[in-house]
Amino acid sequence: MRVSKFVTIGIVAAAISCGGSNSSPTGTVNDPPPPTGGVNITVQNFSFSPAVDTIKVGTTVQWVNNGPSEHSSTSDTGLWNSQGLTPPSGGGAYGGATAGATFQFTFNQAGTFTYHCMFHPPSAYPSFVGTIVVTN
Ligand SMILES: [Cu+2]
């Protein structure tokens, strides 16, 4: 039964991908892998996911635009700014073939770091914000 075997593999793969706290959420099949020892945050549908990510000092975070619009990861305090991250060709999770633009930043200090999208500011998109909690 070839078809049911593929279904079983798909379910197992989905279960594995949901196991880690920092694994990519569903709908991000086109995301590139996270940096070694790092984590991915998906930018899509006017949200960052996970919206709150707790990491250790020295961890690299990679933001990936997987939605149809251009977005950014912009620190509220100016610590980092990805500038514009182009969307995937063909719409990313909506059927595109290639991943959208990415941006990496390594957190070398403990603390709580909030950020937003420079094109869709919290004044207009209050839930489109993210927080990185960096612990020793
Ligand atoms: Cu945006």
pLDDT per position as a tens digit, 6-40 = 443 333 333 333 333 343 343 445 678 899 999 99
Per-residue pLDDT band at 66 (split at 50, 70, 90): confident
CB 94 within 8 A of CB 68: yes
Total number of domains in the chain: 1
CA of 56 to the centre of ligand 1 (A): 26
Q: How many angstroms is it from 48 CA to the middle of ligand 1?
A: 10
Report CA dihedral (70, 21, 55, 65) to the nearest 10 degrees: -10
Q: Which domain holds residue 40?
A: 2-135
In a 13 Å sphere around the CA of 94, the CA atoms on its Cβ side amount to: 13
Ligand 1: distance of its center to the CA of 35 in Å? 23
Instruction: Evaluate if residue 78 carries a pLDDT over 60.
Output: yes
Indicate the pTM of the whole model. Answer: 0.76
- The H or E element spanning position 14 is helix 2-17
Question: How far does residue 27's CA lie from ligand 1's centre (Å)?
Answer: 18
Domain with 11 in it: what CATH number?
Answer: 2.60.40.420
Provide mean pLDDT across the span 91-105. Answer: 73
Q: What is the pLDDT of residue 11?
A: 37
